């Protein structure tokens, strides 16, 4: 799709994609076409009309697109050769386009990547097989139109729809060059947008500040129709809040300079924020006419979209420009920009943060590889080390062909440089993905079957010994390996935040090895009894026994530190710990080296947890400090009947749907087969399955649980209190300090975040049904995110006065700023997403009244939510702040889900431990955020702190998007 569609897709994501990841309200696109209301169509139509590419469409075409498009979460691969059934546009994420000349998917070549705003699936128009295989590079979401509807639209509106196809329909003819044509078309899209962008910028300057383009004299020489670099930067910074700094503006002008639509009068290749002269391409000819009034009007309309596009590509252009400079010409600011980029380069990720990278940066240069041509040839002398900033290259060895592909962040050339030898391979740009690591792997086999696969670690010990990393293996052999290689110089009871593979094992083993099996295997590794006379047969045997015992005890204590109260819920774990404690207590009388373990193990064995009775009622959480919810706890749960009466049952926290319905049937003395239903405030019914675990924590904010016979299912209606408030609470909190509100929100969020056990992230990712474990603490934390987001929307939509709504927006922006100050990124994102909800963002009269200072703050906050480059803006922010941090949890869960769904858990009947390590890395990020305690003295509470505390913990919201949209249109009706 064309560049203008990006606005539509980003706005749709505001109420579609994020809500999908955390279980928030359903979007209009998720409804079946027949079920879409007029408001649903209006929401989609409003966004379509806001995109220039759709403005020339006939209204009936727009309405048909609104009515027939679907939302789809990409969980499958579209294979080359298959017959397509739908056309797709990419809403979020990215997809690789792979083509195979042999029709063998293993030989597929990646020819390009589709990002947000692109489309595929045109082959459905003539029922030809798909030209390429499409696979998701990350979690991706699509807009889908089925074949019948798409054909109908195409036949009726062929002329105006042609621009939506990628590539334009008919451009791909049969032949071996099809995919190269497609690739070159894709590469040309950005060039076309830059060419148009240059015209828009020139026309806008001539319209808004015509004095900037004029003849200039310098050193007795006249330069015709020029601009000054400094003035161009000044002007651009003033045009939009998405241009954050002068260096950002420099990068945007540099992108136009590289394309040739803006040129330095002396043909220099780098744009500078100095008194230097630049000329637009259209001003190169002396007789170029000035833009007409119509052209100026069009440019004014396109300017915001053009600036946004340039703002997105500007940072890369700026980096390219800096890296092209000779080392001696790089400024301190240049080095800072390069340093920020290096933080995300895989080739340098192993360097310690304490290593200073600034001096070497003076010697870096930039190389841009040419498309599909050999660049560095095997046998040539190596003179430099290279890191790939963009694109990918093939590594080719004579006689073997392509042996691997290097991608963004990979490096090459250091071996030839260090050893002063010829290059061992040719480097070619752009082709298929292969990985040959057999030369670096060691396979341990038993009965001709591999049971453990190790790979040489790139890092060696200080003694020069080779280190190996576990890639895969059977659970037993992985455990054996970690026990044999375990370091004994770290404290056994500290799970730590460092990447120690034993910690990965104790954290992740529940995925592939239950606690009962782990305990049995670990106890079997605790060798010899001191009473065994053979133990003292030799000093060597004694030392081996002591070392083995210490390793088992070290791993057992790490395991207990990670699992905490979960161990108290399993009899097998308790029996193991008691047996191990008895053995160690006895052995320590003879083997003094074991004495240090006795006190720590005693604490674990004697630690007891009481079973607590919980109360759970929506919108009425207790004001007492939150305590972690455990599997062994019990809960009082209200379950409603079709006549809106209810019964209260007492069940285990981890009770299944079957157990809940059984308890309800017993309480009601009913012989009917009851269905368990989650009924939302919008009347949507979700049938809960008998095997669903911990069903109470899956309820939405205003959702309620119903139990009824099947014949009463259609008669279920929401309770009156599910509608939410009918009046806003601004009068209650407008006099409360924004800082106090943010502080109390942070305090509550920290309590919820602290209750989340690390294993809940695993249960959420792999499916808690298979573990029979609750994720209640994580569910409540995610629910809080939705609650804060909807609180913002609810308060704005229930505020009838325009001036009051403006004050509300200012208040929420201030609260968000203080949340960021307190490092509460979860509520910070929730507030900003609430303000970007369609029901709020469409209130143009309200936003127009907002002071420019607050608009700038909001734009800055929105930029942190930019999902491009895998949420790079957010990740950079997190790396620059110290714990304690309350992170944006939905993104962490997305990372874990992507690692899980993109990698098999078992390979050749062995555990894929590389996958376990990837997921453990994300959990370590959570551990890092909580590695320091939250300081409650960071903000001195005012006299009314109890009032503020009570308010933020009992937020009342409307969670029905249709209701919120209706309220929004009442505040500011649709303009005709």
Return the structure tokens found at 749.
């969020």
Q: How far apart are CA 454 and CA 716, in angstroms?
A: 58
**Coil vs helix vs strand at 96:** strand
Average pLDDT over residues 716-744: 93
The DSSP call for residue 804 is H
Return the structure tokens found at 241.
């809040």
Predicted pLDDT at 590: 83
> Using one digit for the tens of pLDDT, what is the confidence trace for 467-482?
788 999 999 999 998 8
**Residue 363, φ and ψ in degrees, nearest 5:** -105, 5
Question: What percent of the chain shows pLDDT beyond 70?
Answer: 71
Predicted pLDDT at 288: 76
Whether residue 77 has pLDDT greater than 80: no
Give the distance between the most distant pair of CA atoms in the chain. Answer: 105
Query: Do 917 and 504 form a contact (C-beta atoms < 8 A)?
Result: yes
> Using one digit for the tens of pLDDT, what is the confidence trace for 392-443?
565 655 544 554 556 555 666 655 544 455 555 555 433 222 233 445 788 8
> Using one digit for the tens of pLDDT, what is the confidence trace for 488-499?
655 554 444 334
Return the structure tokens found at 274.
């100095």
- What SS3 string covers 776-797? HHHHHHHHHHHHHHHHHHHHHH
Sheet holding 221-228, edge to edge: 214-218, 221-228, 277-280, 262-264
Q: How far apart are CA 926 and CA 685, in angstroms?
A: 34
The more confidently predicted of residues 161 and 226 is: 226
Q: Would strands 634-640 and 613-615 be described as parallel, antiparallel, or unpaired?
A: parallel
Whether residue 848 has pLDDT greater than 60: yes
Place of tokens 């240049």: 334
Predicted pLDDT at 876: 79
Average pLDDT over residues 521-528: 84
Average pLDDT over residues 601-617: 72
Instruction: Tell me the sheet residues that pair with 907.
Output: 910
E strands, 848-940, in order: 906-907, 910-912
Please state the pTM of the whole predicted model: 0.62
Distances (CA, A) of 832 to 9, 729, 842, 860: 18, 19, 15, 11
Place of tokens 């280190």: 467
Q: How far apart are CA 734 and CA 725, in angstroms?
A: 17
Mean of the per-residue pLDDT values for the chain? 77
E strands, 418-478, in order: 426-429, 441-446, 449-456, 468-473
Q: Would strands 449-456 and 468-473 be described as parallel, antiparallel, or unpaired?
A: antiparallel
Chain centroid to Cα 190, Å, comes to 25
The DSSP call for residue 137 is S
Query: Do 540 and 547 form a contact (C-beta atoms < 8 A)?
Result: no
CA angle 177, 180, 185 (to 5 degrees): 125
- What SS3 string covers 227-275? EEHHHHHHHHHHHCCCCCCHHHHHHHHHHHHHHCCEEECCCCCCCCCCC
Q: Which of 439, 437, 513 is nearest to 482 (CA)?
A: 513
Residue 697, exposed/middle/buried by CB under 10 A (0-12, 13-18, 19+)?
A: buried
Confidence at 850, pLDDT banded by 50, 70, 90:
very high
Whether residue 245 has pLDDT greater than 50: yes
Residues whose CB falls within 8 Å of the CB of residue 136, separated by 6 or more in sequence, listed in order: 74, 77, 93, 94, 95, 96, 902
Average pLDDT over residues 924-951: 83
Question: What percent of the chain shows pLDDT beyond 90?
Answer: 33
Whether residue 39 has pLDDT greater than 50: yes
Query: Do 86 and 80 form a contact (C-beta atoms < 8 A)?
Result: no
Average pLDDT over residues 759-775: 90
Residues whose CB falls within 8 Å of the CB of residue 563, separated by 6 or more in sequence, listed in order: 506, 515, 573, 759
Return the structure tokens found at 781.
């934390």
Distances (CA, A) of 591 to 475, 541, 556, 585: 30, 13, 18, 10
Q: Domains of the chain, with CATH numbers?
A: 31-98+128-175 (2.60.120.10), 188-324 (1.10.10.10), 338-428 (2.60.120.10), 474-609 (1.20.870.10), 729-971 (1.10.840.10)
Distances (CA, A) of 825 to 228, 664, 809, 898: 41, 40, 19, 22
Average pLDDT over residues 505-532: 84
Predicted pLDDT at 968: 95
Distances (CA, A) of 836 to 113, 122, 250, 414, 688: 28, 33, 29, 48, 32
Distances (CA, A) of 526 to 263, 510, 520, 964: 75, 21, 10, 63
Predicted pLDDT at 373: 37
Return the structure tokens found at 608.
């007891």
Q: Which of 141, 95, 137 is nearest to 115 (CA)?
A: 95
Predicted pLDDT at 501: 57
Average pLDDT over residues 707-720: 93
Sheet holding 70-73, edge to edge: 70-73, 141-146, 86-92, 119-120
Predicted pLDDT at 625: 67
Predicted pLDDT at 349: 43
Mean pLDDT comparison of 165-179, 418-432, 663-677, highest-scoring range: 663-677
Query: Do 953 and 905 form a contact (C-beta atoms < 8 A)?
Result: no
> Using one digit for the tens of pLDDT, what is the confidence trace for 786-822?
999 999 999 999 999 999 999 999 999 999 999 999 9
């Amino acid at each position: 799709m064309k560049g203008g569609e990006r606005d539509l897709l980003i706005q749709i994501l505001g109420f579609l994609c994020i809500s999908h990841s955390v279980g928030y309200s359903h979007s209009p696109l998720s409804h079946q076409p027949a079920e879409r209301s007029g408001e649903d169509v209006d929401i989609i139509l409003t966004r379509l009309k806001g995109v220039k590419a759709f403005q020339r469409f006939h209204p009936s075409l727009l309405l048909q697109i609104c009515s027939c498009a679907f939302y789809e979460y990409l969980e499958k691969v579209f294979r080359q050769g298959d017959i397509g059934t739908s056309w797709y546009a990419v809403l979020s994420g990215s997809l690789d386009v792979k083509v195979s000349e042999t029709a063998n998917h293993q030989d597929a070549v990646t020819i390009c990547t589709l990002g947000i705003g692109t489309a595929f699936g045109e082959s459905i128009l003539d029922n030809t097989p798909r030209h390429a295989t499409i696979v998701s590079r990350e979690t991706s979401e699509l807009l889908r139109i089925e074949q019948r509807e798409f054909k109908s639209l195409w036949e009726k509106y062929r002329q105006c729809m042609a621009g939506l196809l990628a590539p334009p329909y008919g451009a791909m003819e049969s032949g071996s060059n099809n995919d190269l044509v497609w690739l070159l078309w894709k590469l040309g899209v950005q060039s076309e947008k830059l060419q148009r962008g240059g015209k828009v910028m020139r026309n806008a300057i001539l319209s808004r500040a015509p004095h900037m383009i004029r003849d200039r004299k310098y050193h007795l020489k006249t330069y015709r129709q020029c601009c000054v670099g400094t003035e161009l930067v000044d002007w651009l910074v003033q045009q939009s809040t998405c241009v954050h700094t002068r260096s950002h503006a420099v990068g945007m002008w540099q992108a136009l300079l590289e394309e040739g639509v803006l040129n330095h009068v002396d043909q220099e290749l780098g744009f500078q924020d100095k008194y230097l002269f630049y000329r637009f391409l259209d001003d190169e000819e002396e007789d170029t006419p000035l833009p007409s009034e119509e052209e100026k009007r069009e440019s004014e309309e396109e300017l915001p979209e053009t600036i946004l596009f340039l703002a997105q590509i500007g940072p890369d252009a700026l980096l390219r420009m800096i890296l092209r400079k000779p080392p001696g010409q790089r400024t301190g600011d240049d080095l800072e920009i390069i340093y920020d980029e290096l933080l995300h380069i895989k080739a340098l990720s192993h360097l310690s943060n304490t290593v200073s990278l600034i001096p070497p940066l003076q010697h870096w240069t930039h190389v841009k590889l040419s498309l599909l041509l050999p660049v560095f040839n095997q046998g040539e002398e190596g003179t430099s080390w290279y890191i790939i900033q963009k694109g990918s290259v093939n590594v080719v060895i004579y006689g073997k062909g392509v042996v691997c592909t290097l991608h963004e962040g990979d490096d090459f050339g250091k071996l030839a440089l260090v050893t002063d030898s010829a290059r061992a391979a040719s480097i070619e740009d752009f082709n298929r993905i292969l990985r040959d690591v057999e030369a670096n792997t060691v396979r341990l086999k038993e009965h001709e079957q591999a049971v453990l696969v190790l790979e040489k670690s790139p890092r060696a010990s200080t003694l020069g010994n080779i280190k190996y990393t576990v890639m895969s293996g059977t659970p037993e052999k992985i455990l054996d390996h970690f026990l044999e290689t375990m370091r004994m110089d770290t404290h056994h009871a500290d799970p730590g935040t460092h990447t120690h593979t034993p910690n990965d094992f104790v954290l992740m083993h529940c995925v592939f090895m239950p606690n009962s099996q782990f305990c049995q295997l670990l106890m079997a590794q605790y060798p010899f009894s001191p009473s065994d006379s053979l133990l003292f047969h030799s000093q060597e045997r004694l030392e081996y026994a002591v070392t083995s015992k210490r390793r088992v005890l070290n791993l057992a204590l790490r395991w207990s530190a990670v699992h905490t109260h979960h161990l108290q819920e399993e009899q097998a774990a308790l029996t193991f710990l008691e047996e191990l404690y008895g053995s160690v207590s006895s052995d320590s009388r003879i083997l003094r080296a074991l004495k240090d373990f006795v006190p720590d193990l005693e604490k674990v064995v004697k630690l007891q947890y009481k079973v607590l009775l919980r109360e759970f009622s929506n919108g009425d959480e207790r004001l007492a400090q939150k305590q972690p919810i455990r599997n062994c706890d019990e809960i009082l749960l209200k379950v409603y009947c079709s006549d809106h009466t209810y019964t209260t049952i007492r069940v285990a926290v981890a009770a299944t749907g079957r157990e809940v319905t059984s308890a309800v049937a017993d309480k009601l003395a009913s012989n009917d087969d009851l269905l368990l239903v989650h009924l939302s405030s919008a009347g949507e019914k979700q049938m809960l399955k008998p095997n669903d675990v911990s069903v109470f924590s899956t309820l939405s904010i205003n959702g309620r649980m119903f139990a009824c016979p099947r014949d009463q299912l259609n008669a279920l209606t929401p309770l009156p209190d599910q509608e939410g408030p009918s009046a806003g609470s601004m009068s209650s909190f407008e006099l409360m300090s924004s800082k106090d509100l943010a502080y109390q929100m942070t305090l509550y969020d920290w309590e919820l975040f602290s209750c989340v056990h690390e294993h809940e992230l695993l249960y959420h990712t792999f499916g808690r049904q298979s573990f029979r474990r609750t994720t209640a603490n994580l569910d409540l934390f995610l629910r809080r995110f939705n609650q804060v987001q909807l609180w913002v929307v609810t308060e704005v939509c229930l505020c009838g006065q325009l001036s009051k709504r403006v004050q509300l927006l200012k208040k929420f922006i201030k609260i968000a700023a203080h949340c960021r100050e307190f490092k509460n990124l979860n509520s910070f994102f929730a507030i900003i997403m609430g303000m970007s909800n369609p029901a709020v963002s469409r209130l143009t009269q309200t936003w127009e009244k907002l002071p420019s200072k607050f608009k700038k703050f909001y734009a800055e906050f929105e930029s942190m939510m930019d999902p491009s480059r895998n949420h790079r803006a957010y990740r950079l922010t997190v790396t620059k702040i110290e714990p304690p941090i309350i992170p944006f949890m939905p993104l962490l869960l997305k990372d874990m889900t992507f690692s899980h769904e993109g990698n098999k858990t078992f390979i050749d009947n062995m555990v894929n431990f590389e996958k376990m390590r990837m997921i453990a890395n994300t959990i370590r990020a959570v551990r890092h955020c909580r590695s320091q305690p939250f300081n409650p003295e960071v903000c001195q509470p005012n006299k009314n702190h109890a009032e503020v505390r009570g308010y933020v913990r009992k937020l009342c919201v409307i969670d029905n998007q249709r209701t919120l949209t209706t309220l929004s249109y009442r505040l500011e009706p649709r303009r005709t």
